[in-house]
């Protein structure tokens, strides 16, 4: 029986890419066509998938592939993630929302394009997540939080009810927020944001 699932390109082949591969395989909605990374890495593999091209070929690849997602992580800076996201949009790729089947996402929440919800994350009612965000493994986002574009909520982080995470914020592993606060830029791992 032929496989009719759409193919998707992964843009960036580092550690975060491995985690995304696992989520995409579990979700079973897309077939991974290959990875786009630096020119010198073409022909190498990440898990079972080949690096098939570098950024210079994204326009050409768009004639064959409709879907792509940014699989570069965000710790020190989100500059590369934002640049790649904008490049993919300019070329005309569709950037789907990818959600692990092991995550819980309320039907009363909204997640915008190019964002990924990793294993065991919990997204509660009234939450709005912007474009090109990473909601990492075991992150908890309580009711009515707003996560603006290009944010990374790291592993086991907790956003309590009504928090607004401003655009481009990195919220570190095991960090916790008070409820109904505005948070921006960089919250280090294990800290409390008030």
Q: What CATH number does the domain containing 141 carry?
A: 2.160.10.10
Q: Are 86 and 26 part of one and the same domain?
A: yes
> How far, in Å, CA of 150 to CA of 79, rounded?
9
pLDDT of residue 80: 93
Averaged pLDDT in 10-residue chunks for the chain of 194 residues: 84 96 97 97 96 96 97 86 96 98 98 98 98 98 98 97 96 96 91 90
Domain boundary among 63, 91, 119: 91
Residues 14 and 77 in one domain: yes
Give residue 95's region: left, alpha or beta (phi > 0; psi -120 to 50): beta
In this prediction the pTM is 0.95
- Dist CA 114 CA 123 (whole Å): 16
Residue 194 is assigned to a structural domain of this protein: no
> Which residue is it, tokens 């409390």?
192
Determine the distance from the C-alpha atom of residue 25 to the mean position of all C-alpha atoms in its chain, rounded to a whole number.
15
Per the DSSP assignment, residues forming a β-bridge with 36 are: 11, 53
Distance, CA of 2 to CA of 189 (rounded, Å): 46
Residue 177 domain boundaries:
98-185
């Amino acid at each position: 029986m032929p496989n009719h699932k759409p193919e998707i390109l992964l843009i960036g082949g580092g550690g975060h890419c491995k985690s995304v591969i696992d989520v995409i395989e579990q979700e079973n909605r897309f077939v991974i066509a290959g990875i786009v990374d630096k020119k010198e890495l073409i022909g190498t593999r990440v898990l079972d998938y080949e690096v098939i091209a570098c950024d210079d070929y994204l326009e050409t690849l768009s004639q064959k592939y409709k879907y792509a997602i940014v699989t570069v992580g965000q710790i020190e800076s989100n500059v590369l993630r934002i640049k790649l996201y904008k490049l993919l949009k300019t070329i005309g790729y569709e950037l789907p929302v990818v959600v692990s089947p092991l995550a819980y996402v309320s039907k009363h929440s909204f997640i915008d394009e190019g964002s990924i919800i990793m294993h065991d994350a919990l997204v509660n009612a009234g939450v709005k997540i912007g474009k090109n965000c990473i909601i990492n493994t075991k992150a908890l986002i309580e009711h009515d939080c707003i996560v603006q574009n290009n944010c990374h909520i790291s592993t086991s982080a907790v956003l309590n009810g009504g928090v607004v995470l401003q655009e481009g914020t990195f919220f570190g592993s095991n960090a916790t927020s008070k409820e109904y606060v505005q948070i921006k830029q960089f919250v280090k791992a294990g800290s409390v944001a008030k």
